[in-house]
């Protein structure tokens, strides 16, 4: 959610920090700030509600040659959105500045204790309590041979903290150092030449280095321009594992597109190709995955699969349920990650748990995965982020390889998740009773999917005209059956996220059980109507809505002979992919485009919708 960037090195820190914050804007923010520390024990803190550009304007009013600094974009949890509550926060003795992601659950008790020790507070945040706690331990901590007093004060403070944190701290007594730590909130170190960086996302420093160390929970790192060292909060030394970031910063640039969401929608053919590349057997009858770390014998013994996710990833899990039950004939349960670990669900010993998370850092999904592993269940993941916590901690998994997704609204990550879920179903099905011919039919259909998606993208101009026609409405309903139901939910979610229109997704047969009361001339309905056995029922539902003067947009891949041009006020005709396994992806793309163009028509900030964050790392 919030973004952290820290720099220590031979260059001027301010511009580097500001650039890093700009690259992390997609994570969501309501304020931003920097703390710059030069060699003269001068700590300059600048912070402001709004975008990092406002902090940049403040920086231009202050000449500062600091080579050490930390910065932050805030997504409010404790305290209102004000300049005072923005990060960085300073200790009341003026020695420390801190930027913090996460939630300190016992901050009130810490605050009461510190007020009794003479420390004062100016904000409503939990983070300021940690800044003063570090100052308290620093004042108590004597210099010890072989120990860094700054690091020790941070480490000892964290032993008293309940909750989650990703943090970076500077101290005026140690102007060439930054101390960082993580628990439940992502943090990584960028390793350069005569300079080092710390950030909540590698995108912040890819212009400077592609060498990275991902911190694990409970680790503390101390950075200087020439070196870095890692320990645990219990003072155990850690041997760091350096990794190379595979993607370039150019992949995160807009290019010729107006918004990242638009760019990422149109990148979907390539993203789907990358997700599938090298993952079909030589005879094209099944899928293959190199990182599952599960023997086929174990998989054949699986008699239940549980999929866990949040937000859009949860909707991918719902589609996976249809795929796995249809093609592999294995019972599937889908649960919100946030609910799974708080209920004592009776699961059979032969249960396989699959966690889906684009970022690999969604806290609810991470903790649900850990709960499943604690209980001894084989736990796999689908994630897009190499080096993420979920990717590192699970038993095995599948990388999406769809490249960086910057827009808050998930697009290419969702459709690549759908494809990988279809491939998992194919993989499990071929171990059971899915025939060779059926396996080849699914594989070949999936391999042609990117071309069909390109055809759907060619409908963008038509969809944009429809979006302009419907952009003034304040309520919309999305309707689908079977595996179109999760896509209806996804269409409603996208519309809510970026247009602020009240939208709901329903199973179409549920219309007569309540939602039909909402239908009137001011509430359009978007029907997802694939060819197949549900087509007549869906067309009947369309007529029920039209009879009550509800405007209808009908999205279908059925031929005109089955769905006439006058079946609805407006129709989006999709290519027939030739196999039902493709339908969830093909029907997703037009609802993405529709939401995008409605947001444009309403003049809204597409990539940075209000109140939302890309990666949700707090509960």
Q: What is the CATH number of the domain that holds 390?
A: 3.40.50.10490
**Same domain? 237 vs 264:** no
State the average pLDDT over residues 544-552. Answer: 89
Q: Give yes or no: residues 373 and 287 share one domain.
A: yes
CATH code, 99: 3.60.20.10
Query: What is the C-alpha separation between 260 and 203, in angstroms, rounded?
Result: 14
**How many helices and strands in the chain, by DSSP H and E?**
19, 25
Catalytic residues, by residue number, are: 2, 614
What φ, ψ does residue 120 adopt, rounded to 5°? -115, 165
Q: Which residues contact 72 (CB under 8 A, 6 or more apart)?
A: 2, 3, 4, 5, 21, 32, 33, 34, 86, 87, 88, 99, 100
Tens digits of residue pLDDT in 159-196: 999 988 999 999 999 989 999 999 988 899 999 999 99
Q: Are 165 and 183 in contact (CB under 8 A)?
A: yes
- Angle of the 412-430 helix axis to the 268-276 helix axis, nearest 10: 30
Q: Which residues contact 47 (CB under 8 A, 6 or more apart)?
A: 31, 32, 33, 34, 55, 83, 86, 87, 88
The residue segments making up the domain with residue 375 are 250-447
281 lies in the same domain as 378: yes
pLDDT for 224 equals: 95
Structure confidence at residue 250 (pLDDT)? 59
Q: Based on the fold, state whether residues 229 and 353 are members of the same structural domain.
A: no
Give a yes or no: residue 615 inside a domain. Answer: no
Count of structural domains, the chain: 3
Peptide bond into 88 cis (omega under 30): yes
Q: What percent of the chain has pLDDT over 90?
A: 64
Q: Does 594 lie in the same domain as 491?
A: yes
Confidence at 262, pLDDT banded by 50, 70, 90: very high
| Residue 156 shares a structural domain with residue 220 | yes
Co-location of 267 and 416 in the same domain: yes
Last residue of one domain, picked from the residues 397, 423, 447:
447
Asked if the structure places residue 619 within a domain, the reply is no
pTM above 0.85, yes or no: no
Are 442 and 381 part of one and the same domain?
Answer: yes
56-93 pLDDT tens trace: 888 888 877 899 999 998 877 767 888 899 899 999 99
Cβ atoms 69, 47 nearer than 8 A = no
Give the confidence band of 253 by pLDDT, cuts at 50, 70, 90. confident
Residue at 76 is within a domain: yes
> Are 63 and 125 in a shared domain?
yes
Q: Is residue 521 part of a domain?
A: yes
pLDDT at 616: 62
């Amino acid at each position: 959610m919030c973004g952290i960037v820290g720099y220590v090195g031979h260059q001027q820190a301010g511009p580097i920090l500001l650039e890093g914050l700009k690259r992390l804007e997609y994570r969501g923010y309501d304020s931003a700030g920097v703390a710059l520390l030069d060699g003269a024990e001068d700590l300059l803190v600048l912070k402001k509600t709004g975008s990092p550009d406002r902090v940049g304007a403040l920086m231009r009013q202050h000449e500062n040659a600091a080579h050490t600094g930390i910065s932050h974009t805030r997504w409010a949890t404790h305290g209102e959105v004000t300049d005072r509550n923005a990060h960085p926060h300073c200790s009341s003795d003026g020695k420390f500045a801190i930027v913090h992601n996460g939630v300190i659950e016992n901050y009130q008790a810490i605050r009461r204790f510190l007020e009794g020790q003479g420390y004062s507070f100016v904000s409503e945040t939990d983070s300021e309590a940690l800044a003063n706690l570090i100052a308290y331990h620093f004042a108590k901590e004597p210099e010890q041979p072989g120990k860094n007093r700054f690091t020790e004060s941070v480490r000892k403070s964290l032993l008293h903290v309940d909750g989650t944190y990703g943090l970076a701290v500077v101290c005026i007594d140690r102007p060439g150092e930054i101390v960082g730590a993580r628990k439940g909130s992502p943090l990584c170190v960028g390793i350069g030449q005569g300079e080092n960086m710390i950030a909540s996302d590698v995108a912040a420093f890819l212009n400077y280095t592609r060498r990275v160390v991902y911190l694990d929970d409970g680790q503390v790192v101390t950075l200087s321009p020439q070196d870095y060292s890692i320990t645990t909060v219990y003072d155990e030394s850690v041997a760091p594992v350096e990794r190379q970031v595979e993607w370039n910063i150019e992949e995160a640039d807009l290019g010729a597109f107006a918004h990242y969401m638009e760019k990422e929608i149109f990148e979907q053919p390539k993203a789907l190709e990358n997700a599938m590349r090298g993952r079909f057997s030589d005879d094209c009858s099944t899928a293959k995955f190199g990182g599952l770390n599960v023997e086929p014998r174990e998989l054949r013994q699986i008699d239940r699969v549980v999929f866990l996710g949040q937000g859009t990833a949860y909707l991918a899990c719902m589609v996976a349920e249809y795929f796995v039950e249809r093609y592999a004939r294995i019972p599937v349960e889908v649960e919100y990650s946030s609910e799974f670990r708080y209920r004592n669900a009776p699961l059979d010993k032969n249960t396989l748990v699959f966690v889906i998370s684009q970022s690999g850092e969604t806290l609810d999904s991470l903790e649900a995965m850990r709960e499943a592993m604690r209980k001894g269940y084989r736990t796999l993941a689908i994630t897009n982020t190499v080096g993420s916590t979920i990717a590192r901690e699970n038993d095995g998994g599948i990388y999406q390889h769809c490249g960086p997704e910057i827009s808050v609204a998930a697009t290419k990550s969702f459709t690549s998740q759908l494809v990988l879920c279809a491939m998992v179903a194919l993989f499990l099905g071929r171990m059971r009773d899915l025939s060779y011919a059926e396996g080849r039919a699914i594989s070949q259909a999936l391999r042609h999917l990117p071309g069909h998606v390109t055809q759907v993208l060619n409908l963008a101009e038509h969809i944009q005209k429809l979006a302009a026609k419907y952009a003034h409405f304040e309520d919309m309903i999305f309707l689908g059956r079977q595996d179109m139901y999760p896509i209806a939910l996804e269409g409603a979610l996208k519309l809510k996220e970026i247009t602020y229109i009240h939208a709901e997704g329903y199973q179409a047969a549920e219309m007569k059980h309540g939602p039909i009361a909402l239908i009137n001339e001011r509430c359009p309905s978007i029907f997802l109507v694939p060819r197949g056995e549900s087509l007549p029922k869906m067309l009947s539902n369309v007529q029920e809505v039209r009879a009550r003067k509800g405007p209808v947009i009908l999205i279908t891949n059925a031929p005109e002979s089955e769905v006439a041009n006058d079946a609805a006020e407006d129709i989006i005709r999709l290519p027939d992919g030739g196999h039902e396994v493709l339908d969830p992806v093909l029907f997703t793309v037009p609802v993405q485009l529709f939401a995008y163009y409605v947001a444009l028509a309403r003049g809204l900030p597409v990539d940075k919708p209000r109140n939302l964050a890309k990666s949700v790392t707090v509960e």
